Amino acid sequence: MTKPLAGMYAALLTALTDDGDFSPERQRDLDAYVLRQGLTGLYVGGSSGESGLLESAALLEQQAVVAEDAKGSDAMLIAHVGLPSLKASIALARQARTLGYHALSALPPHSYPFSDAEILGYYKALAAATDLPLIVYEVPVRTGRPLPIELLVQLLDLPNVAGIKFTSTDLFKLTRLRLLRPDSVYYFGFDEVWLAGGILGADGGIGTTYSLIGRLYVALNEALREGDMARAQELQQVSAEFVVALLDVGVIPGMKAGMRAVGVDCGPARLPMASPVNDADAGMAKLLADPKFKTWLA
């Protein structure tokens, strides 16, 4: 049986003006494109949305714009609210509740070398701030260290915590967590190898590249659920090839260049983030003209 909140979610980009401020107008164009992809929903205000570089006011405004854009659709909305300040995180969480978001998520606090007890306290306070289900997060590439499995189990046992976004290559840890807490919902966060997590029982995915080629991940998830492993492997290979090319131009700058290539201008990446190449737009336009990728555009 499908768990509540299971499925494939685009880790939504944030649209900016040419000067790097939040742009409601560009965000609406971006949202319209992503919502056409047939994904389960949108994951708003996360790392893919440059939340670590944005002010709380911009993230609050983005939440409201996306909520308005999603009205009338079947899209589920998960608000990422994990900011360095617990107070700011709770403010984002409470607004998301008011706006009708379906769930919350948050990176663990990582601005300082927080202890396991401090991380547990953060999530406990955030989970208690609203009645929305909360998705916790294991992402060593962002936090600088993996969280111990004992702590992750404690987090999954907190009231209102529904599951975890698992963005780690430690697939044995994912397996152990599923054995210990089988009723939690599990999202695998590495787009380029999502199938590995899916085979091990992940209930869905949350990924950056879903914003641009989300239809590919819908098809990949369907192939796995239908037991068509040959098709699933074929689709995962397309995803991997896309990510390899994207890494050459920088993930967020490259995604925004890719959006421009399909007629959706969501602005630059927020400085100091920048592409390592001078021709990101030309490179992404050429990449997306390849039928292998073009067929998956919205």
Cα distances (Å, whole numbers) of residue 74 to 13, 42, 99, 106, 254: 19, 11, 15, 23, 28
The predicted-structure confidence for 114-136, as pLDDT tens digits, reads as follows 999 999 999 999 999 999 999 99
Q: Which residues pair with residue 206 across a beta bridge? A: 9
Cβ–Cβ under 8 Å, residues 115 and 84: no
Q: Is 165 a catalytic residue?
A: yes
What is the full DSSP assignment across 165-220?
EE--S-HHHHHHHHHH-TTSEEEE--GGGHHHHHHTT--EEEESTHHHHHHHHHHH
Contact 213, 247 (CB under 8 A): no
Q: How far apart are CA 280 and CA 8, in angstroms?
A: 27
Q: Is the pLDDT of residue 173 over 80?
A: yes
Q: Which of 33, 43, 123, 165 is catalytic?
A: 165
Contacts with 250 (C-beta within 8 Å, 6 or more apart), sequence order = 269, 273, 274, 275, 276, 277, 280
Virtual torsion, Cα 164, 154, 80, 70, nearest 10 deg = 60
How much is the pLDDT for 2? 84
Residues 1-23 have a mean pLDDT of 95
Amino acid at 71: K
Mean of pLDDT values over 76-96: 97
Cis peptide preceding 272, ω within 30 of 0: yes
**Is the distance from CB of 176 to CB of 13 less than 8 angstroms?**
no
What is the structure's pLDDT at 111?
A: 86
At residue 1, the pLDDT reads 60
Catalytic: which of 33, 122, 137, 217?
Answer: 137
Q: Is residue 37 scored above 90 in pLDDT?
A: yes
Instruction: Give the mean model confidence (pLDDT) for residues 200-225.
Output: 98
What percentage of residues in the chain have a pLDDT greater than 70?
Answer: 100
Q: Are 155 and 126 in contact (CB under 8 A)?
A: no
81-106 average pLDDT score: 97
Catalytic (active site) residue 101: no
More confident residue, 193 or 84: 193
Does domain 7-226 fall under CATH 3.30.1330.40? My reply is no
pLDDT at 267 over 90: yes
Q: What is 277-290 written as a DSSP string?
A: SS-HHHHHHHHHHS
pLDDT of residue 163: 98
Return the pLDDT at 237: 98
